[in-house]
Amino acid sequence: MQTIRKLVQAVWVFLINGFWGFPITGNLYQGPLKIICSPGLNCYSCPAATTYCPIGSLQQLLLSVRFSLQTGHYYIGTYVLASMGLLGASFGRFICGWACPFGLVQELLYKIPTRKYSVPVALNWFKYLFLLVFVVILPLLLVDQFGLGKPWFCKYICPAGTLEAGIPMVFLIPDLRTTIGFLYLNKICILTGVIIWSVLASRPFCRTMCPLGAFYALFNRVSLIKLDLDKEACTNCKACHKVCPVEIRFNETPGSGECINCMKCMTDACDFDAIFVNVAGYRLARTGKSRPVSARQS
């Protein structure tokens, strides 16, 4: 199953970064597909990006909300927020585990053999702060004399944007090199920190910083498709604790906002068929791994 997941992740990377004409055009994709919301965190300024980044677009709409209202438009982020909501209500954080390019990058980095560390649980709350403060409050409230704010998360933090757009664009458009300054170096430092952290810990950005992951986490318990626990079948053997890449105790907190629904616990750990995919209240399929009752009791 994990091989299939890796393949699905790779397919998503190429689907939302499918414009490979940028070395010839010297510019990013400008076609109509960019009206579609990228399910995972993927900068729309990436030269290969074919979709828009919901976090980037939401900030852009919020930072100019006064200006658009003054000019008689009502661009207040409803389309972007609704697109994110439709994805979140359908899949929850399945998107993080199966369709996010930056999640895949972190997983590949974690494969580098070194001593591994856990991420302190308290840091998990920071991603909600990033969503609330850097994506919503600051772009909306801190404005200049023209009533325009800044895309605070993209501008000062987003390492995905630096990796997918900042670095490639500087190579692609030589004129941009002259404009590199403190802001760029700050973002390179953040990206370097996240890369090193990803080698040492599993998916640290997703767990502590990602505002999109925080948004999808709000839906994890109620999404149409979710990973669920059959409490009657669970023997509390704790095998699911050992394989979880985000260090949650699935049998104790099914539907946790931290779960990225990678299904590793379901396919690689649980021998009792206690973890399953729940679609609107119905069990999708059995894994066929269930042991007989006598074996469970032993």
Residue from 78, 192, 236, 253 binding other proteins (CB under 8 A): 78
Q: Can you give the three-state secondary structure of 125-185, one letter per residue?
A: HHHHHHHHHHHHHHHHHCCCCCCCCCCHHHHHCCHHHHHHHHHHHHHHCHHHHHHCCHHHH
Alpha-carbon distance of 136 to 156, in angstroms, equals 14
Please report, as a single letter, which amino acid is at residue 251: N
User: Please, which residue, 119 or 157, has the CB nearer to other proteins?
Assistant: 157
Judged by CB under 8 A, the stretch of 18-26, 31-39, 100-108, 202-210 that binds other proteins is 31-39
User: Please, which residue, 49 or 240, has the CB nearer to other proteins?
Assistant: 49
Alpha-carbon distance of 48 to 157, in angstroms, equals 21
68 binds other proteins (CB under 8 A): yes
Shortest separation between residue 6's beta carbon and other proteins, angstroms: 27
Closest by Cα among 16, 14, 28 to 168: 28
User: Please, which residue, 6 or 155, has the CB nearer to other proteins?
Assistant: 155
Handedness of CA 258, 263, 268, 270 (dihedral sign): positive
User: Please, which residue, 11 or 222, has the CB nearer to other proteins?
Assistant: 222
Residue from 180, 196, 284, 293 binding other proteins (CB under 8 A): 180
Closest by Cα among 259, 239, 212, 269 to 43: 212
* C-alpha pair distances (Å), 30 with each of 49, 52, 224: 9, 11, 33
160 binds other proteins (CB under 8 A): no
Contact 130, 157 (CB under 8 A): yes
User: Please, which residue, 19 or 110, has the CB nearer to other proteins?
Assistant: 19
Judged by CB under 8 A, the stretch of 24-32, 97-105, 129-137, 258-266 that binds other proteins is 24-32
188 binds other proteins (CB under 8 A): yes
71 binds other proteins (CB under 8 A): no
Assign 278 to helix, strand or coil.
strand
Shortest separation between residue 116's beta carbon and other proteins, angstroms: 30
Q: Token pair of 137, please?
A: 């409050």
Shortest separation between residue 57's beta carbon and other proteins, angstroms: 5
Q: Token pair of 107, please?
A: 């997983």
Residues that bind other proteins (CB under 8 A): 27-28, 30, 32, 34-35, 43-45, 49, 51-53, 56-57, 60-61, 68, 73-83, 85-86, 89-90, 150-151, 154-155, 158, 161-162, 165-166, 169-170, 176, 179-181, 183-184, 186-188, 219, 222-224, 230, 232-233, 278, 280-283
